Amino acid sequence: MVAHKLKEEVFDEFLARIAAGESGRKVCKEKSMPSWGSVWKKIRMEPDFLARYSAALESRGMVLADDLDDITRGVLTGMLDPAAARVAADIIKWQAARMTPKVYGDKAHMTVETKGGGFIEELKRVEDAVKAKTAEMLTDKRDTEDDALRAGDGGVNEDQVNNDVSGAT
């Protein structure tokens, strides 16, 4: 079947079934439904269909998240093995997070507080502080090292080092 020859009602049914929680692959296997190739072509060619498909996936993610309640009840009533339930729950959480990232996705949150000025000025202050701390640490380390251990101080004779390593004098 080619996407443009299929009736719009078929695609509406496809989207309704996705929104109800079925996978696109499962729906596309039925003879009355469009092939995945036809669906993919329609997604790529029609922005309106892409928006409707995205909404159906978001709904599917919410339906999957609701399945977590069933898993919880199954474990609490002893109908499900807790280890198996945990695996199933982890998979469902992952799927729901991908389909509905605004609702169930991982939330990354970063707050930047500045002491006046903008973000770039604050980054420069941090960079200057790191440079100062690094210089301080290098200075402190040199003051505590034995003079004989410092490379560059007192001049290292490459020939002497090679002789010492090889055992020759």
Give the type of residue at 17: R
pLDDT (0 to 100) of residue 1: 43
Q: Which of 98, 88, 8, 10 is nearest to 60 (CA)?
A: 98
Separation in Å, CA 63 to CA 8, 20, 47, 88: 24, 7, 24, 14
127 and 65 co-located in one domain: no
Q: Kindly tell me if the per-residue pLDDT of 28 is higher than 60.
A: yes
Same domain (yes/no): 81, 144:
no
| CA distances, 67 to each of 5, 38, 56, 60, 61 (Å) | 36, 30, 17, 11, 10
Among candidates 49, 55, 44, which has minimal Cα distance to 20? 55
Of 52, 54, 63, 73, nearest to 95 by C-alpha is 63
Provide the residue type at 129 as one letter.
A
The answer to whether the pTM exceeds 0.85 is no
Task: Indicate whether 79 and 160 sit together in one domain.
Answer: no
- What confidence score (pLDDT) does residue 106 get? 72
- Tell me how many domains the chain contains: 2
Residue 109 lies in a domain: no
Give the domain-ending residue among 52, 73, 104: 104
Whether 94 and 130 map to the same domain: the answer is no
Going from the C-alpha of 128 to that of each of 27, 121, 124, 131, 132, the distances in angstroms are 59, 11, 6, 5, 6
Would residue 130 count as lying in a domain? yes
Same domain for 95 and 127? no
CA 15 to chain centre: 27
Alpha-carbon distance of 6 to 3, in angstroms, equals 5
The more confidently predicted of residues 71 and 126 is: 71
89 and 29 in a single domain? The answer is yes
What does the alpha-carbon distance between residue 45 and residue 28 come to, in Å, rounded to a whole number? 18
Asked if residue 132 and residue 98 are part of one domain, the reply reads no
Q: Return mean pLDDT, the chain.
A: 81
User: What domain range includes position 142?
Assistant: 119-166
Lowest mean pLDDT among 18-22, 94-98, 136-140: 136-140
Nearest-angstrom CA–CA distance, 39 and 46: 10
Q: Are residues 144 and 72 in the same domain?
A: no
Regarding whether 134 and 51 lie in a shared domain, the answer is no
Q: Do residues 97 and 104 touch, judged by C-beta distance below 8 A?
A: yes
Identify whether residues 56 and 7 lie together within a single domain: yes
Q: What pLDDT is stored for residue 2 in this prediction?
A: 45
Question: Is 134 contained in some domain?
Answer: yes
Q: Residues 64-92: what's their mean pLDDT?
A: 92
In a domain, 112, yes or no: no
| Residues 69, 14 share a domain | yes
Residue 98 belongs to domain with CATH number: 1.10.10.60
Report pLDDT for 51. 95
